[in-house]
Amino acid sequence: MTEHKWHKRVREEYVERFKKLGFIVYSSHTNISKLELFREEVKRQNCLSDADIVVLDSENEKIEQIIEVETAMNPKKLIGIVLATHFCDRCRIKKKDYPLKNISLKIVCKKAKEKSKKGMKLEVIKNPLEGIIRNRKEGCLSKFDMEEHI
């Protein structure tokens, strides 16, 4: 599938930003192929999602953050990304498995038009999603953030 120009620009911007901060950064749409997220076991049927960008702490190779770049965001898609990621407990990158624990998820989406219904709907579900993550009994996310990008 061809990568949208806006998606590519934003993805590359975030990759560079984290590399400059000294992190190891893996990105989809490159020679890495997929950054797959699994629940329980690394098996095809247990792959619940994949990520656009995975940021690792360079000292201990622990995944710190997952970044998802979305050109067209809607409430159902946002809920799906957050919960599918939250349910995962491991990430496979270049045939190596990394545990997912206390991960920060950032979703970067196109800036909504002022007073758009879609933008208002996303705001309505953002707080409940943050509450699910804060009150978690299980799941890999410790923080969820959404950022609009031009």
Q: How high is the mean pLDDT of the chain?
A: 91
CB burial of 57-86 (b: ≥16 within 10 Å; e: otherwise) equals eeeeeebbbbbbbbeebeeeebeebbbebb
By CB neighbour count within 10 A (0-12 exposed, 13-18 middle, 19+ buried), where does 3 fall? middle
Q: Which residue has the higher pLDDT, 6 or 29?
A: 6
**Residue 38 near residue 87, CB atoms below 8 Å:** no
| pLDDT tens digits along 9-30 | 999 999 999 999 999 999 998 8
CATH number of 5-149: 3.40.1350
**Residue 92 near residue 36, CB atoms below 8 Å:** yes
Q: Where do the domains of the chain lie?
A: 5-149
Q: Is the pLDDT of residue 114 over 90?
A: no
Please give the backbone phi and psi of residue 85, each rounded to the nearest 5 degrees, phi first.
-65, -45
pTM for the whole thing? 0.92
Q: Percent of the chain, pLDDT > 90? A: 65
Q: Is the pLDDT of residue 54 over 80?
A: yes
Tell how strand 47-51 and strand 35-38 pair up. Answer: antiparallel
For residue 1, what pLDDT is reported? Answer: 62
Largest CA distance in the chain: 44
**Residue 87 near residue 39, CB atoms below 8 Å:** yes
